[in-house]
Amino acid sequence: MHDPAPKRGPLTPREWVISGIFLAILLGLFAASIFYDFSPVKLSALLVILYWIPLLVVHEAGHAFVARALGWHVGQVVLGMGRTLAEFRIGRATVEVRLLPIEGFVASVPTNLRWPRIKSAAIYFAGPGADLLVAAAVLLLVGPDRLLSASEDYGLIAWQSLALAAVSQGVLNLIPHSVRTPEREIPNDGLGILRSFGLPESYYAGLIGQRYNQQDRGWESRDPADSRNRS
C-alpha cells in the first residue's frame, strides 16, 4: 500500500515518548494474555507478529529485486506506514523506514516498452511470492508432518509461526482489494496484478524516464531524451 501524504522528518522527543508508552501498553496487555494460564502454543501469536517485520522487508525486497532484474528503475522502497523514522539509499533507490511496520510499497517505472504488462504483473507478484517462498523453505526444512502437527516444543512452534506469518502475508496481499485516499485509489498486489494487463501501453510509456527525487520527495517528469528507450 501507498501513503500519499506521509508526515516527514524524524520524530520529536515527545512523539518518541508517546509512541514508546503506547507500544509498552500494547505489548504489556498482549504479554499478559499469553502468560495468563500459560501454554507454549500461546507464544505462536506473539511470534507471528514479531516475524511480520522481517517478512515485510523480504516482501518489499522481492518487489525491488524482480523490478531490477526485469530492467525497471526502482526509485523508492517504503517499509511501514505513517511518519518516516529513517531514510537512506541503496544504489539509486531511496529507502524509507516508517513508524508502523504493517505494510509498505516499492515504486518502480519501466525503462522500455518490452512486455510492460507481464513485467508489471511479475513485479506485483514478487512480494507475495517471496513470502510464499519463505513458507515453502520452512516446509521443506521441517517437513510437512512435523510442521502441521500440534506440539509444545518451542523450536517447532517458532518454525510453525514463521510459516504461518509468511503464508498469511503472502495470501492477504494476493486477495484483490484497494485503498481509496483523497488523491487516488491504490491497488494491493493482487489487484495490481489484474490491472497490469488492462492498462494501455500509453500508460507505461508515460512512466518511462521518470526518476524519484529524494530532495523534493516526488517523481520528476520524463526527460525527452529518454524517448529513445520506449521501443
pLDDT level of residue 22 (50, 70, 90 thresholds): low
Mean predicted lDDT score pLDDT of the chain: 81
Domain locations along the chain: 13-229
Pairing of strands 93-109, 178-180: unpaired
Q: Which of 216, 205, 138 is nearest to 170 (CA)?
A: 138
| CB neighbourhood size of 214 (10 A) | 15
The more confident residue out of 200 and 210 is 200
C-alpha 205/C-alpha 200 separation (Å) is: 9
Q: Which of 13, 120, 1 is nearest to 60 (CA)?
A: 1
| CB neighbourhood size of 85 (10 A) | 18
Summarize the confidence of residues 197-219 as an average pLDDT.
84
| Site of grid cell 495470501 | 171
pTM over the 0.85 mark = no
107: β partners: 76
The more confident residue out of 195 and 221 is 195
Q: What is the pLDDT of residue 211?
A: 83
156-174 pLDDT per residue, tens: 999 999 999 999 999 999 9
